[in-house]
A = this chain, B = another copy of it.
Amino acid sequence: MDRIKRNERLAAMSRILTASPNRIYTLSHFTELFGAAKSTISEDLSILADAFSQFDLGRLTTVAGAAGGVMYRAIPSKEKVVSTLEELSKRLSQPGRLLPGNFLYTTDITCDSDLSELMGEILACRYYDKAPDFVLTMETKGIPVAMMTARMLGVPLVIARRDSKAYEGSAVKINYISGDTGDRIETMALARRAVTPGQKALIIDDFMKGGGTLRGMHDLMKEFDVEVVGTGVVIATAEPRKKRVDGVTALMVLEAVDREQGSAVVKPSEWVYKLN
């Protein structure tokens, strides 16, 4: 075999590491793949790390210890987070998006494969240090962003259903309260085998008004003896101020609606401007 050049190693390593975010690759993985010395691979990694940081393409992190190695996290700069969410807020504030009943049409944005990935990147960043074992969402609209968040964290997605389905086996089913006035009781179910007691969950959804569905997901995790290490949503409404779940990270806030224009006022959340 021809000797593999640094150029080729860097091209390949960049692809391999960024394709599996938040997963540790040992140096031996690369020394074997490329037939190169550890010191050579270390130099490669430092070039990669510099290139990623220079062009705002995420971060390479070295993990020390026996299980150590290197991993990639798609952590965007503050500038990228702000510009992404300002652009999305602008699109979400366009006339015609407000539907009867004051619902905001967001599906084209949450189902866009690039945008859902960007939102997943930003949400994942807030929870790397909490090391969730999986991302939980409730069907249906939250799934794409939750999936991309899970991808960035390198963990599986778990989907709670409105009802228990035959093809998912025995399930735990709870009732939860949804709707503005707290008078609507709904059902949420999750297959028994979907999660393991003692795991840690990150809850992700697309929209929060009162927080009833998120509260339901928290309660559901309690039934499974799973700790919830965080809750994130794409959009939270400013009103009601009091939500049924505390400490939710929202990417954007829906501040007001203009029924005549059929539009909403959506802005990036304040924490976005306080990032380092």
Contact = CB atoms under 8 A, between A and B. Distances in A.
A61 to B, nearest CB: 15
Interface of A: 4, 6-16, 18-20, 33, 47-48, 50-52, 54-55, 57-58, 99-101, 103-105, 107-108, 111-114, 116-117, 139-141, 143-144, 147-148, 150-151, 154-159, 161, 166-169, 191, 193-194, 207
A33 to B, nearest CB: 7
14 contacts: A8-B50, A11-B47, A14-B18, A33-B55, A99-B168, A99-B169, A101-B167, A105-B168, A105-B191, A107-B194, A113-B151, A113-B157, A114-B154, A144-B147
- Scoring A6, A33, A113 by chain B CB atoms within 10 A of each residue's CB, the highest score goes to A113
A114 B240 CA distance: 38
Nearest to A193: B105
B169 A105 contact: yes
Nearest to A6: B7
Given A113-B155, A117-B151, A156-B112, A18 B20 contact: no
Contacts of A47: 7-8, 11
A15 B12 contact: no
A194 B52 CA distance: 36
Given A7-B47, A139-B139, A161-B140, A105 B14 contact: no
A11 B191 CA distance: 42
A139 B111 CA distance: 13
Contact of A51 (B11, B112, B194): B11
In the A-B complex, the 8 residue pairs with the smallest Cβ-Cβ separation, listed nearest first, are A103-B167, A14-B14, A11-B51, A8-B51, A113-B151, A111-B157, A139-B140, A12-B55
